[in-house]
Amino acid sequence: QQQVKQSPQSLIVQKGGISIINCAYENTAFDYFPWYQQFPGKGPALLIAIRPDVSEKKEGRFTISFNKSAKQFSLHIMDSQPGDSATYFCAASYYGGSQGNLIFGKGTKLSVKP
Amino acid sequence: IAGITQAPTSQILAAGRRMTLRCTQDMRHNAMYWYRQDLGLGLRLIHYSNTAGTTGKGEVPDGYSVSRANTDDFPLTLASAVPSQTSVYFCASSEYQSSEQFFGPGTRLTVL
Cα separation, B95 vs B70, in Å, equals 15
**Closest chain A residue to the Cα of B108, Cα to Cα:** A41
When CB atoms are compared, the residue of A102, A105, A106 closest to B98 is: A102
Distance (Å) from the C-alpha of residue A95 to the closest C-alpha of chain B?
5
**B26 has pLDDT over 80:** yes
Position B56 pLDDT exceeds 60? yes
Q: What band does A1 get if pLDDT is binned at 50, 70 and 90?
A: low
Compute the average pLDDT of residues B4-16.
97
Please give the average per-residue pLDDT across B18-32, as a whole number: 96
Residue range A68-102, pLDDT digits in tens: 999 999 999 999 999 999 999 999 987 665 557 88
Q: Which one-letter amino acid corresponds to residue A21?
A: I
Question: Regarding beta strands A62-67 and A56-59, do their DSSP bridges make them parallel or antiparallel, or are they unpaired?
Answer: antiparallel
Q: Do A43 and B105 touch (CB under 8 A)?
A: yes
Q: Which residues contact A18 (CB under 8 A, 6 or more apart)?
A: A76, A77, A78, A79, A80
B40-54 pLDDT, tens digit per residue, is 888 999 999 999 999
A27 touches chain B (CB under 8 A): no
Secondary structure (DSSP) of A11-40? EEEETTS-EEEEEEE--TT--BEEEEEE-T
